[in-house]
Amino acid sequence: MEEKVIQWIILESRQALPEEEAQSLARWRADDPANEVFYQQNLLIWQSSAGEVHGPGPDLSAAWDRFASTHEIQPPSSRSTSSLMQWMKIAAILVVLAGIGIWVFQSPFLLGTQEVITLTADEKPMEHVLADGSRITLNTGAILEVSGDLSSRHVREVSLIGEGFFDIHRDPERPFIIRANGMQVEVLGTAFHVLSDAGLFEVVVREGRVAVSKSDGSDRVELVDNQRLLLDRKEGSRTVDLDPTGNAWAWQTGILQFQATPLDEVIRTVERYYQIKINLANPANEVCAFTSRFQGADATTVLQSIASSFGMKVRSSGLGIYYLTDGKCR
CATH of the domain at 284: 3.55.50.30
Nearest one of 239, 232, 288, 296 to 261, comparing CA atoms = 288
Q: For 209-226, write each residue's pLDDT tens digit.
A: 899 998 888 889 999 888
pLDDT band at 95 (very low <50, low <70, confident <90, very high): very low
User: Do 195 and 124 fall within a single domain?
Assistant: yes
* Of residues 287 and 122, more confidently modeled: 287
User: Does some domain include residue 111?
Assistant: no
* Of residues 296 and 155, more confidently modeled: 296
Q: Cis peptide leading into 190, omega within 30 of 0?
A: yes
3-class DSSP assignment, residue 326:
strand
3-class DSSP assignment, residue 227:
strand
User: Does some domain include residue 180?
Assistant: yes
CA distance 126 to 242: 27
User: Does some domain include residue 202?
Assistant: yes
Q: Which of 99, 132, 150 is the last residue of a domain?
A: 99
User: Does some domain include residue 229?
Assistant: yes
User: Does some domain include residue 175?
Assistant: yes
Q: What is the tally of structural domains in the chain?
A: 3
User: Does some domain include residue 81?
Assistant: yes
Report residue 148 CA to chain centroid gap. 19
CA distance 210 to 227: 10
Cα distances (Å, whole numbers) of residue 209 to 220, 225, 229, 241: 13, 7, 12, 14
Nearest one of 108, 107, 144 to 7, comparing CA atoms = 107
* Of residues 120 and 13, more confidently modeled: 120
CA distance 19 to 75: 25
CA distance 297 to 98: 50
User: Per-residue pLDDT for 144 more than 80?
Assistant: yes
Longest CA–CA separation in the chain, Å: 75
User: Do 45 and 124 fall within a single domain?
Assistant: no
CA distance 314 to 293: 19
Cα distances (Å, whole numbers) of residue 162 to 73, 94, 95, 194, 317: 38, 27, 31, 8, 26
Output the pLDDT for position 100: 35
Q: For 24-76, write each residue's pLDDT tens digit.
A: 888 888 887 777 777 776 776 655 544 333 334 444 444 445 444 544 444 44
Output the pLDDT for position 105: 37
Q: Which of 99, 124, 145 is the last residue of a domain?
A: 99
User: Do 207 and 261 fall within a single domain?
Assistant: no
What is the extent of the structural domain holding 284? 254-326
User: Do 124 and 233 fall within a single domain?
Assistant: yes
CATH of the domain at 194: 2.60.120.1440
CA distance 21 to 252: 30
User: Does some domain include residue 108?
Assistant: no
User: Does some domain include residue 105?
Assistant: no
- Distance spanning both ends of the chain, measured CA to CA: 54
